[in-house]
Amino acid sequence: MKRNVAIILAMLLSSFVLYAQNDSLQIRRIFNQILSNGMCYSRLDYLSNQIGGRLSGSVAAERAVKFTFETLKKEGFDSVWLQPVMVPHWVRGAKEVAWFKGKNGRSIVAVCALGGSCGTDKQGITANIIEVKSLQEVSDLGEKVRGKIVFYNRPMNPLFIKTFDAYSDAVDQRAMGAVAASKFGAVGVIVRSMGSNVDKNPHTGMMRVQADVKQIPACAISTYDAELLSAALLADKDLKFYLKMNCETLPDVLSYNVIAQINGTEKSEEIILVGGHLDSWDNGDGAHDDGAGCVQSMEVLHTFKSLGIKPKRSIRCVLFMNEENGARGGTAYANYAKENKLIHLAAIESDAGGFTPRNFGATTTEDKLRSLRGYAPLLQAYGIEEVLASGGGVDIGPLKEQGTCLIGFGPDSQRYFDIHHTAVDIFDKVNKRELELGAGNIAALVWLISEYGL
């Protein structure tokens, strides 16, 4: 009897070893394909350099839809289609102008309008500045901000090791600063850019508006100029700031999510979604945010096709429209999934830049998290250290209530807020190998889930 048990154990063990070995080999094939014949880098080149910044509603966004749709169509996947979605159409207009006059004369500063902001009138506005470090401080000042431009100048805290934590900690100034200041009669808002370093590139990004609060012009100022302005205010608190912005919100525009699928051979009704967002801010080329996530998602399907892998479950690539200023694509997609009773077993979003891979993070049940953590050792040699107990993405977020396991791809975050939402989010800032290793890890995880479920 003991011997029988031993034999059975040995058989189980060897089949397990074989199984793990085969998985390793398959994952190695996936990486080999991407590292030697991958398409993601050249596609990102096109998206960044031939199309460029592609804010929702823009001609460039339309071109990005066409390019990715046609590229996926040519690959001959089982289905490739467009999901219509109405998106906001905010436009920056002519470049912003801003300067202040202090004791040392006039200093021109680099600013950019925040997404969703109203413009100034044609003459621009001139007002005194009041510098604050928080929304609370504005409430405390109350009526003292009336007629002034509120200057939010709390830097991203460098002591957070992961830069996204520092971003979350600081971004309330950009998101809610204008509403908070307008309530007390401020005439404009300047927000220190959400950047990890001190440089001359202002970072745009979305701000909230509130129906019952008067809109006032709001812009981001480069971190370098924020320091300059703050120093100038110390010397002369009565300095005058001039701001002219030409942005406006036009009527909504018809746009699309771009979707492609390889059908599963055994459980085709179970979908594993992989995606990024196709829109980007207008000031850079949206190479990292989120061109990288789009071409990586496309690469997953391309890799399966190139290697002739027939997944057991269906693999779907979704390039979402309008993550940056409305998240309409993600919302529309989740509604459509709900209406059609689709089963999304897992959704993986890559929207943290095309940097070197470090982790995945999942918002899901303990059981599924355990399954994911069981897969992680297979990805360790390729840079995945761990599976964190939270993660996802703005676009896939609305699928949560349908029970989908939400997974965010986590590349190294140190460089992200040097380029995020700036004019230097360009192709040149993306490293080919880092981008490809990200695609490889995402493709490998998709394959593992398609093969073994969660």
Applying CB under 8 A, the residues found at the interface with a second copy are 31-32, 35-36, 158-159, 161, 163, 196-197, 356, 381-383, 385, 412, 414-415, 418, 431-434, 437
Within 10 Å of residue 412's Cβ, how many Cβ atoms?
A: 17
Question: CB-wise, 402 or 431, nearer to a second copy?
Answer: 431
Between CA 48 and CA 93 the distance in angstroms is 21
323 has catalytic annotation? yes
Q: How far is the CB of 382 from a second copy (least distance, A)?
A: 6
> Among residues 59 and 159, whose Cβ is nearest to a second copy?
159
The three-point CA angle 154-148-176 to 5° equals 45
Q: Min. distance of Cβ 31 from a second copy in angstroms?
A: 7
CB 69 within 8 A of CB 82: yes
Across the strands, what pairs with 87? 253
Q: How many CB atoms lie within 10 A of CB 250?
A: 10
**DSSP conformation letters of 126-177:** EEEEEEESSHHHHHHHGGGGTTSEEEE-PPP-TT-SSHHHHHHHHTHHHHHH
- Are residues 219 and 202 in contact, defined by beta-carbon separation less than 8 angstroms? yes
The amino acid that residue 234 corresponds to is: L
Instruction: Select from 190, 220, 216, 198 the least CA-distant residue to 112.
Output: 220
Q: Which long-range contacts (C-beta less than 8 Å, at least 24 apart) are formed by 106-111?
A: 107/225, 107/228, 107/229, 107/232, 109/221, 109/222, 109/225, 109/228, 109/229, 110/200, 110/201, 110/202, 110/221, 110/222, 110/224, 110/225, 111/190, 111/202, 111/219, 111/220, 111/221, 111/222, 111/225, 111/243
State which amino acid sits at residue 189.
V
Contact 343, 316 (CB under 8 A): no
CB of 383 to a second copy, least distance (A): 7
Cβ nearer to a second copy, comparing 14 with 32: 32
With tokens 């490809």, the residue in question is 436
DSSP 378: G
Which CB, 124 or 383, lies closer to a second copy?
A: 383
Q: How far is the CB of 273 from a second copy (least distance, A)?
A: 27
Kindly state the smallest distance separating residue 183's Cβ from a second copy, in Å: 34
Residue among 282 and 434 whose Cβ is closer to a second copy: 434
Three-class SS state of 275 = strand
Least separation in angstroms between residue 161's CB and a second copy is 6
- Choosing from 96, 270, 323, 324, which is the catalytic residue? 323
**At its nearest, how many Å lie between a second copy and the CB of residue 356?**
5
Q: Tell me whether residue 99 or residue 447 sits nearer to a second copy (CB atom).
A: 447
CB under 8 Å to 240, separation ≥6 — which residues? 100, 101, 126, 127, 128
50 vs 197, beta carbon nearer a second copy: 197
**Length of the chain as a residue count:** 454
Q: Name the residues annotated as catalytic.
A: 323
